[in-house]
Amino acid sequence: MADPLGVTASVIAVAGLAYSSSKALYEIISTIRDAPQVFQNLNQSIAALSQILNALKTNLDGRGARLSESQIACLQEAKPTLEGCDLACKDFKTMMEGLTAHSQDGRRSFRDGIKLNFQNKRIADFRMRVVDWKESLALALDVALLTSMSANTEAFKALEVKMAAAEVQITTDLKVVNTRLEKLLASEPESEEDLQIMTQKRGVEEQQKTALMQCLSLCQAAADGATQTTGHSFRNNKAFGEARATYGNIGDVPAGSAMNSYDSNSASDKARVVYGNMDGASFREYMKKDS
């Protein structure tokens, strides 16, 4: 198992970098007066992403030692997504600075206005990434804060709904990108210039696909982490007389399954209690009256 404290510290650091990059991008877009609606929509999505990034770097602090192996695995999967987010926000900020180079005091020059209006596809693609980053990283945060299903039944149900919705959204976005890639690959360039343009477009679509695949992998890691983390909590159970009880799972329980927690349970008189998981044969033997 990876060092929990090291993994958590690393994720907090990268989340901090991504937060700073997203905040800087938000601020530069905010300075554009009368920005096209597509930029306003993008900035709303960036603001939502920034909140998740800030929550990651804030809420994970001091939790590393308490995280399970599956939660740590989920955070490890979040790191490439965070790194991609940080780099892409910086690159998009550089692009925005180039597009507004002739504007001053928030006022767009005529030349910059024309350039901005020709960036609709690039902006829509970047917003797709931002939304999917937000959804997948929010799941990673939820899993990291999860304890046991018994103590958080409603929260776990809500998380399952979020996971399903995020996976559908990201999968749908991936289908869009894959369709565009297939069309590009099926096209035959008629000149060297066409080949260069198509190669550039394929590179852009491959970058988009890579980012979305990272988000999808993170969603799947979050689902695995939640499943393995949410065990049962046994508290304040009492057995007495000649009672026999088991507090745990019965049957074939695979390695890495959820850990159960126990607190303030007791047995008295001739009562016999097993705390933990049992295979079926052992359970049948245990429950025999004369065993």
Q: Using the predicted structure, report yes or no on whether residue 207 has a pLDDT greater than 80.
A: yes
- Cβ(25)–Cβ(92) under 8 Å? yes
Q: What digits encode the pLDDT tens for the residues 52-93? A: 999 999 999 888 788 888 888 899 999 999 999 999 999 999
What integer best gives the mean pLDDT of the chain? Answer: 81
The position carrying tokens 């800030």 is 54
Identify whether the C-beta of residue 242 lies closer than 8 Å to the C-beta of residue 270: yes
Q: Which residue did the predictor score with more confidence, 225 or 18?
A: 18
Catalogue the long-range contacts made by 153-157 (C-beta closer than 8 Å, 24 or more residues apart). 156/226, 156/230
Buried b (16+ CB within 10 A) or exposed e, 220-256: bbbbbbbbbbbbbbbeeeebeeeebebbbbeeeeeee
Q: For 141-165, what is the mean pLDDT?
A: 74
Chain position carrying tokens 């689902």: 223
Residue 147 is predicted with a pLDDT of 64
- pLDDT at residue 3 tops 70: yes
285 vs 134, 244, 252, 274, CA distance in Å? 51, 12, 16, 13
Q: What does the pLDDT read at residue 258?
A: 56
pLDDT of residue 170: 93
The residue with greater pLDDT, 50 or 201, is 50
Q: How confident is the model at residue 109 (pLDDT cuts 50, 70, 90)?
A: very low
**pLDDT higher than threshold 60 for residue 244:** yes
Q: At what angle do helices 4-30 and 37-59 cross, to 10 degrees?
A: 150
pLDDT top residue among 268 and 152: 268
pTM score: 0.72
